[in-house]
Amino acid sequence: MKNFVKYVGTAAMLLLLTLVYSACKKNGGYYDASDEAVPFAGNTYEYLKSKPGVYDSLIVAIDRMGLKKTLTDSNVTLFAVTNPSFQLALRNLNSLRKLSDKDPLFLSNIDGIQLDTMVSYYIIRGVKTTDSLKLQDGLNLTSVKVAYPMHAKSTKGSASGEVGAGPEVIEFSNTKKSKFIRNWATSTTASNNIRTKNGVVHVISPDHTFGFDGFVTRLTFVPPPPNLMVTIGGTFSSNRENDGGPTSGENSKKVIDGDDHTKFLCNINGFLTMQFKLKTPEVSSVYTLISANDAPERDPKAWTYEGSQDGVNWTELHRVTNFFFEERYQQKIFRCTNTVAYQYYRVNITELRNGGTFQLAEWTINKTK
C-alpha cells in the first residue's frame, strides 16, 4: 500500500511539472490574455462607458471636445488614458497654481483649445494592432483631429530580470514634431489589442501623465503681447549670415518669418547680433525666442536685449545667462521693465550651449501691455 501511494504521488508530481513546463513554453514564460480576449460587442466609446471608475476623466474630456462621434463611427486606434493619469496631471497643475494663489482648474473649465490638442494625441487614424507596430523603427502615426505626428513601437518588456522575456508593450510617443527620438516624450501601455466594432484600444500605463510633459506648461502659458515687427514693421539685419548666403534655406531672415519650422543657422564667430529697426519708435518690455528643430547644443545660452534711438548708442534692457530650452519648437517669453520708446531693438548673443554653430527658429519684439 505504501508503495502504491508513493507511486501515485510521484506520478502526480510529474504530471504537474509537465503541465507547468508546457504552459511556460507555449507563452514564453508569461500569459498575455489581451491577445485572446473576446472582442467588445460595441464601439470604442461604448467600451469606455462600460468601465466605470476607469475612464471617467477621459470620457469627460472626449465629451467636452465633441469627439464622441469619432469614437463611435470612425475607424480609430485609441490609446486610452485612465483616471490616475488625469489625476496626476491635474495635481501637478494645481500645486503650481496654489503657489500663485490661483484657484484650481478641472477638466470642465481648463482651456478648451489646449485640452482639444492634448486629447487628440491619443486618438489615431486607422486600426493599429501590435502586429502593425513591430517594425524595427516602429510606425509613424497621425492623430485624427489635428493630424499631429505621433509614433508607436511594439516591444517586449522585462520579466524576472530578463530583458525581452515579458509581455508585449507599446512605446507610445509624442514626437513634438521632431525627427530626433531624444526630443520625444514616451509612455508605455499596460494592456493591448482590445477590439471594438470600429477599432482597437491600447491602455496607457497608469503612471503616465495625461498630456505627456506639456500639460502644466500648456495651461500656465500666458501668450505674449502683439509682435511689433508685424504690427509696426521695419527692417531686420544681422552681423552674421548663413554660409549659403542671404537667399539660402536657413538664412538670417528665417528667424522673423513667423514659421517656427524654419530657422536661422550660422557660425557665431564670437558673438551674434540680430537687430530690428521699427518704422516708428515703440515701447517694448517683452520679447520671445523659439527653439529650432534639432541639436540643442546650438541654442543660445547667454545674451542681452538692448534698445537704441539711433542704432549707435545702446541701452541694456535685459540680460540672460545660463539659459536652456527644455524642448524643441519651444517659445520662451522674456519680460523687462523698459518704459522708453526705442526705434531700434537687438539681441546680442554671446554664448551657446556648446560649440560655435547657432540656430534659432523665431525672434519677436513685443509691445508693452
Residue 260 has pLDDT above 80, yes or no: yes
Look at residues 217, 246, 333, 249 and name the one whose alpha carbon lies nearest to residue 286. Answer: 333
Mean pLDDT of 328-344: 94
* Range in 226-230, 292-296, 347-351 with the lowest mean pLDDT: 292-296
Higher pLDDT, residue 163 or 319? 319
> pLDDT-derived band of residue 25, with 50, 70 and 90 as boundaries?
very low
Quickly tell me which residue has 466594432 as its cell.
Answer: 197
Annotate 113-155 with three-state secondary structure.
HHHHHHHHCCEEECCCCHHHHCCCCCEEEEECCCCCEEEEEEE
Half-sphere exposure of 93 (CA within 13 A, CB side): 26
Percentage of residues in the chain with pLDDT exceeding 90? 74
* pLDDT per position as a tens digit, 348-369: 999 999 999 999 999 999 998 7
| 222-to-36, 51, 324, 335, 362 alpha-carbon distances in Å | 48, 37, 19, 12, 18
Helices 56-64 and 83-99 pack at an angle, to 10 degrees, of: 70
Cα separation, 123 vs 81, in Å, equals 11
pTM, whole model, 2 decimals? 0.62
Higher pLDDT, residue 233 or 219? 233
pLDDT at 26 (0 to 100): 35
> pLDDT-derived band of residue 133, with 50, 70 and 90 as boundaries?
very high
Cβ proximity of 276 and 318 under 8 Å: no
Helices 112-120 and 56-64 pack at an angle, to 10 degrees, of: 120
What number of other Cβ atoms are within 10 A of residue 236's Cβ?
15
Residue 30 has pLDDT above 50, yes or no: no
pLDDT at 160 (0 to 100): 55
Strands in the chain per DSSP E: 76-80, 123-125, 139-142, 149-156, 168-174, 185-196, 199-204, 234-238, 264-267, 272-290, 300-308, 314-320, 331-335, 341-352, 357-360, 362-367
Cβ proximity of 366 and 227 under 8 Å: yes
Range among 38-42, 133-137, 306-310, 319-323 with highest mean pLDDT value: 306-310
- C-alpha cell belonging to residue 307: 534698445
**H or E element: which one contains 15?**
helix 2-27
Higher pLDDT, residue 162 or 34? 162
Cα separation, 151 vs 272, in Å, equals 37
pLDDT at 37 (0 to 100): 64
Mean pLDDT of the chain: 88
- C-alpha cell belonging to residue 134: 513591430
Cβ proximity of 245 and 251 under 8 Å: yes
Burial of 197 (0-12, 13-18, 19+ CB in 10 A): middle
